[in-house]
Amino acid sequence: MESALYSLHILISGRVQMVGFRYYTVNRARKYGLSGWVKNMYDGKVEIEAEGNRSSLTMFLEDIRVGPSSAEVSQVLDHWSEIDSKNHSGFNVVF
């Protein structure tokens, strides 16, 4: 059983706003049992902070690289770090 917790910070570029990307992200995060948040940024990117085990975060990241069918993801920057405990409960859109 996987016990280590990780935090994954993601910045997504492309046609990722006004296409349902945040709600797609929430759906995928909840599917994998992750906690954290997603928000639109002023520069047109989407920012995500997700916490959970490495395998769930890896599957989540694979889904995020594709995005919803209405999106066009051009770049995904991700930063991983190991954490001692979760900082978030649930997964939500932040405004």
Domain ranges of the chain: 5-85
Token pair of 64, please? 């995020």
Structure confidence at residue 3 as a pLDDT band (50, 70, 90): confident
Task: Let me know if 22 is a catalytic residue.
Answer: yes
Task: Let me know if 40 is a catalytic residue.
Answer: yes
Looking at per-residue pLDDT, the higher value among 52 and 3 belongs to: 52
Q: What is the pLDDT of residues 41-88, one digit of tens each?
A: 999 999 999 999 999 999 999 999 999 999 999 999 999 999 999 899
Q: Is the pLDDT of residue 2 over 80?
A: no
CB atoms within 10 A of CB 10: 23
Any idea which fold 5-85 has? Alpha-Beta Plaits (3.30.70)
Which of 40, 53, 54, 92 is flagged as catalytic? 40
Looking at per-residue pLDDT, the higher value among 1 and 27 belongs to: 27
Query: Residue 20 and residue 52: Cα distance in Å, rounded?
Result: 23
Q: What is the pLDDT of residue 64?
A: 98
Task: Please state whether the predicted TM-score (pTM) of the whole model is above 0.85.
Answer: yes
